[in-house]
Structure 1
Amino acid sequence: MDDATLVVRARGGDSRAFEVLVRRYQGPMYRLALHMLAGRGDAEDVVQEVFLTAWRRLPQLRDDTAFLGWLYRATTNRCLNLIRARRPVAEADLDSRESADAAGAPERAAQVSEQLTALGEALKRLTPEQRACWLLREVHGRSYMEIAGATGTTQTAVRGRIARARAQLAEAMAPWR
Structure 2
Amino acid sequence: MTEPPDLSDPELLEQHRQGDERAFGELVRRHRARMWAVAIRVLGDPEEASDALQDAFLSAFRAAHRFRGDSAVTTWLHRIVINACNDRLRRKMVRPHYPSGDGANLDLLAHEHTRGTPNDPASSSDASIDVHDALRQLPEEQRHALILVDMLGYRVDEAATILAIAPGTVKSRCARGRSRLLPYLQHLRNRQPPSDVTSHGGGGKGS
TM-score (norm 1): 0.80
Between the two proteins, the alignment pairs up a number of residues equal to 169
List alignment gaps of at least 5 residues for structure 2: 1-5, 104-117, 193-207
1:86-105 to structure 2, matched below 5 A, reads: 86=92, 89-96=93-100
Q: Relative to 1, partners in 2 of residues 1:37 and 1:134: Cα closer, same or farther, differing over 3 Å?
A: same
**Which of 125, 134, 147 pairs up with 1:113?**
125
* TM-superposed deviation, 1:126: 1.8
Q: Give the CA RMSD over aligned residues.
A: 2.6
Higher Cα radius of gyration:
2
State, as a whole percentage, how many aligned pairs show the same letter.
Answer: 30
* TM-superposed deviation, 1:34: 1.5
Provide, for residues 95-143 of structure 1, a one-character-per-residue CA deviation record: whole Å limited to 9, x for no partner. Answer: 22777xxxxxx96212212221221222222222211111112233333
- 1:8 aligns with 14
- 1:102 aligns with none
* TM-superposed deviation, 1:50: 1.0
List alignment gaps of at least 5 residues for structure 1: 100-105
Q: Relative to 1, partners in 2 of residues 1:115 and 1:38: Cα closer, same or farther, differing over 3 Å?
A: closer
Q: Please say if 1:150 is aligned against 2:162.
A: yes
* TM-superposed deviation, 1:68: 0.3
Q: Please say if 1:75 is aligned against 2:81.
A: yes
Q: What amino acid sits opposite 1:144 in the alignment?
A: V
* TM-superposed deviation, 1:20: 1.2
Q: What amino acid sits opposite 1:95 in the alignment?
A: P
Moved more, 141-150 or 69-78: 141-150
Q: Contact 2:156 / 2:170 at 8 angstroms: preserved in 1?
A: yes
* TM-superposed deviation, 1:65: 6.1
TM-score (norm 2): 0.70
Q: Please say if 1:27 is aligned against 2:57.
A: no
Q: Contact 1:34 / 1:93 at 8 angstroms: preserved in 2?
A: no
**Which of 38, 45, 60 pairs up with 1:39?**
45
Compare relative contact order (CA 8 Å, sep 6+) and give the higher one, 1 or 2.
1
* TM-superposed deviation, 1:149: 3.8
- 2:190 aligns with 175
Q: Hey, what's the Cα distance between the residues in 1 that align with 2:9 and 2:189?
A: 42
Q: What amino acid sits opposite 2:135 in the alignment?
A: L
